[in-house]
Structure 1
């Protein structure tokens, strides 16, 4: 019975998320519960937290990056990004996100998966620029159209990273795939897996790129919402 008590930590996670509590507090409480019920002393559990944090010090970089992004946004980073797009002739939402897709895939293929991302680039730069480009070619956006533009910006980052990183031979996903194939008797090198990831990345680029351009075209065909005085 005592072996099953350790699973109480899972129950803590389920209940905490169901009540929409702070995820960090929920996971911490779950870890402490699991450790204590597993026979560890409370001090030993806290020591394990400190030891893990000390061995992974790169996590503390987040506390440097986030305030910097917050300060940049406070002093008009998003507004400046919008002004840059408004001053560019021929800039459209589809073309902008297509260029970002190329950038994201190429950098991910080189192993530079952290140079961009939802927090670093999409929210402060890419999404405002895409929104400004859509308004420039289409006019004022409805709330639904605005949300779709923001969602497409985030999706572009995800597609570029997901299908670009597998081209890099030293990425964790490639090593995981290699290990799974090895368990079934297929001895493949990381280089072989990376080479076969290239056609998939190319297909992903053309498929998502087509979605971007078609979405951009559909915005142009949609009548701009009328102002209150015109109704």
Structure 2
């Protein structure tokens, strides 16, 4: 089972499976890239799909009014944290939240210090780990991204069917086995929206 982001080949198969002829001028790579970007923007996780082989560091200002540090992203693995170059220990100097997130298949989204870190130096907190929401996309997320790419392609698909001289909602392929493009567009829109807003994938700021 594929667990990475869908690519141009996946998108072509998706459109053909929906009975759509792929226009020669449809830039499938750009559409799928834009759909992935909209998914990440909508969830608040960038990246959403973590690279399981890559560890990266991000710098933060020390929190001023609380002990909580909003990561503004997700961590599927926390490697280290330093404040002004001093290593902090998980479970002693700070804690990861939501509680037991990784055990539940969710990312870490914020940290809580045992006491407010003493540094007042900007960007002095460095968090290192694997950034993202997950290392393997669920099937419904892949499908939602493909639906969004199809939705972004709707103008080209409609014009390809109608040549601009008919109402797209009234057009079916000769076999009559496929849904009208207007029906598909609404279905794609619904699936993307329901998955984004109802799937538990959106980041909540603290």
User: Same fold by TM (over 0.5)?
Assistant: no
Greater percentage in strand: 2
Greater percentage in helix: 1
The higher-RCO structure (CA 8 Å, 6+ apart) is 2
Q: What is the TM-score when the length of structure 2 is the normalising length?
A: 0.30
Higher Rg of the two aligned structures: 1
